Amino acid sequence: MSERQNNRKKDVYFYPEMLRRIHISFLMFAIALAVNSLAQSPEYRLETFGTRDGMLSSKVYALAQTSDRKLWIGTELGVSVYDGYSFTNYQYTSSNETIGRVLCITQDSLKGIWIGGDKGLFYLHGNSIKKMELQSKTQLAVEALLTDAGGNVWAGDLNALFKITPQQIQQVHKVHPAIVDITPFASFTKRVYCIAEDSKQNIYIGSYDGVFKIMANANNYEIFWANPDPSQSVRSLTAPTPDSIFWNCLDRHPMQMINGKVTSGNTENFIGRTVFTNRHQVLALTTSGVGRIKNGIVEPVVLFGNSTNNAVKALIDAEENIWIGTWEGLLKFRRTTFHQYSIKDTVHKEAFSFLEKKNGDLLFGSNRGIVFTKKHEAIVPDKAMPALFPLAEVMCMYEDAGGEIWAGSGYQGISRFKK
């Protein structure tokens, strides 16, 4: 064979091998990059939504999920509805009036949607939005909405609290009148920032001078907690049980009343914005992320870091995704299907191969011939197995009928581990 033919034969093997090594190197770099990007919240992946995705506005003030699992987003210019694929926007009423800034949303027992904001109270039936007016012609500016277990819709205004009964809701749903005959509940003429209901159907209202309580089916209210600093108004509250009430004052740490005792746990780097309940767990949206409140301390679940400076509202949907409404758009921390494990080693972090042995043990091949195994919830070096190669990575493993482990390397041949 001529020298030229021999060189060409070498090229046939050399270039594919070179490309394979480049491909593997790039793949491992991409995996390492992806793992590092998820280091703060390994169980979640961050997605962002804004006007470029079809939202009406990137300035979000309210979030709600309806029974059909659609996400309703109150923005500066109206309502955006996300069905998991695209956004539907509502900026005008059926009378061509602008809806304006939306601060709260709730779904009633008849699946009608109530929308509150600077320009009043609105009702959506089908694809038509109608502005609701009081018989007294009082102009509403609604900041809080709640549908309670009895089917009543509570609306908190700049100057009063209103209760819309199931009978009135049914009338609105069937006839769609523009005027509702409701008056302030029990002469409650304070600014309402937030409304919550506990497991015994008691209602709680947050105002500038404290938290107020309405016993189930009662027609009056009582002071529950007096705010010593009315300038720091109660901006959010949640009530899992009558004995566990949580609230948040403006630019303060979350507060709680457990069995009649009021405490506030200061958590470093976590100033509270909103408290809410999901599946019997109390959570807080803070200036840094979303965390669970345990013993007065906020324990982080997800951190948004530099993604936003103005987080306003948080919601955990039926699929356990965490949504955060901000003034720079909508953040979605999507719950990942897989649980991520990190190799507990100071030098070797790579995993090139894995094997499930017949006894159920898991082995992971790493660099320098090292093999790791899973112990409890950690990936640690397998002390029963020596390094299979002096320098090369363990690219593949196989267990034969006799329980012997065969391993292939990148460039140092094959090893067999027997007993």
pLDDT at 9: 41
Structure token digits, residue 176: 């769609």
Tell me: the pLDDT tens digits for 192-215?
999 999 999 999 999 999 999 999
Task: Return the bridge partners of 273, or none.
Answer: none
Three-state SS string over the chain comes to CCHHHHHHHHHHHHHHHHHHHHHHHHHHHHHHHHHHHCCCCCCEEEEEECHHHCCCCCCEEEEEECCCCCEEEEECCCEEEECCCCEEEECECCCCCECCCEEEEEECCCCCEEEEECCEEEEEECCEEEEEEECCCCCCCEEEEEECCCCCEEEEECCCEEEECHHHHHHHHHHCCCEECCCEHHHCCCCCCEEEECCCCCEEEEECCEEEEECCCCCCCEEEEECCCCCCCEEEEEEEECCEEEEEECCCCCEEEECCEEEECCECCECEEEEEEECCEEEEEECCEEEEEECCEEEEEEECHHHCCCEEEEEECCCCCEEEEECCEEEEEEECCCCCCCECCCCCCCCCEEEECCCCCEEEECHHHCEEEEECCEEEECCCCCCCCCCCCEEEEEECCCCCEEEEECCCCEEEECC
Assign 294 a pLDDT band (cuts: 50, 70, 90).
confident
Q: How many CB atoms lie within 10 A of CB 338?
A: 7
Assign 29 a pLDDT band (cuts: 50, 70, 90).
very low
Residue pair 292/307 in contact (Cβ under 8 Å)? The answer is no
pTM: 0.74
Tell me: the pLDDT tens digits for 298-343?
888 999 888 888 899 999 999 999 999 999 999 999 988 777 777 7
**Does the pLDDT value for residue 239 go beyond 60?**
yes
pLDDT at 7: 44
Q: What is d(CA 121, CA 359) in angstroms, rounded to the nearest whole number?
A: 64
pLDDT at 237: 94
Tell me: the pLDDT tens digits for 380-413?
888 889 999 999 999 999 999 999 999 999 999 9
Nearest Cα residue to 324 out of 48, 36, 44, 35: 48
Dihedral angle over CA of 267, 268, 270, 276, nearest 10: -20
**Does the pLDDT value for residue 127 go beyond 70?**
yes
Pairing of strands 322-326, 179-180: unpaired
